[in-house]
Amino acid sequence: MNRAVMASTARPEPAAEITLPGIPASASLARRFVRDALPGCPRADDLILAVSELASNAIAWSASGRGGMFTVRVRTTQRLARAEVTDEGPAQASSASRNGWGLGIVTAVTDRAGSVVGADSRRTAWAEVTWAR
């Protein structure tokens, strides 16, 4: 899933962050937040689509969607933007049916994507886009 990582010497800007309730309406709030955090970014639409999928996954598949919260973080440098969605870890049981398209969309529209699970079982799914000067 991860593509080759390119070294960046630019320092990242401080992260913009929002914590949202794990309800379906929060996916659109996450999209709006990312759009507002990336003014003038030539690949903003790609990252907005990726965050829409990652937020939807957090709501559908994690404890965040069972009365919890999830956090969206956006970091930028001169030619890179990274979005992260951190959920509250696995749900006990999921009521949603799987279709398998969401993460494929994320990898198709971004340059790199992946996830990490912390010691506290919280999962952070991330996606990055880059662009030329």
Per-residue pLDDT at 12: 59
What whole-number distance in Å separates Cα of residue 75 and Cα of residue 129? 11
Q: What is the pLDDT of residues 12-51, one digit of tens each?
A: 567 899 999 999 999 999 999 999 999 999 999 999 999 9
Is residue 96 over pLDDT 70? no
Average of per-residue pLDDT across 55-71: 96
Contacts of 16 (CB under 8 A, 6+ apart): 33, 37, 73, 74, 75
Residue-range domains of the chain with CATH: 16-130 (3.30.565.10)
pLDDT surpasses 50 at 133: yes
Among residues 77, 89, 76, which one has the least CA distance to residue 116? 89
Please state at what angle helix 44-61 crosses helix 26-37, rounded to 10 degrees.
150
Q: What is the pLDDT of residue 55?
A: 97
Q: How confident is the model at residue 58 (pLDDT cuts 50, 70, 90)?
A: very high
Q: Would the pLDDT of 56 be above 80?
A: yes
How much is the pTM?
0.85
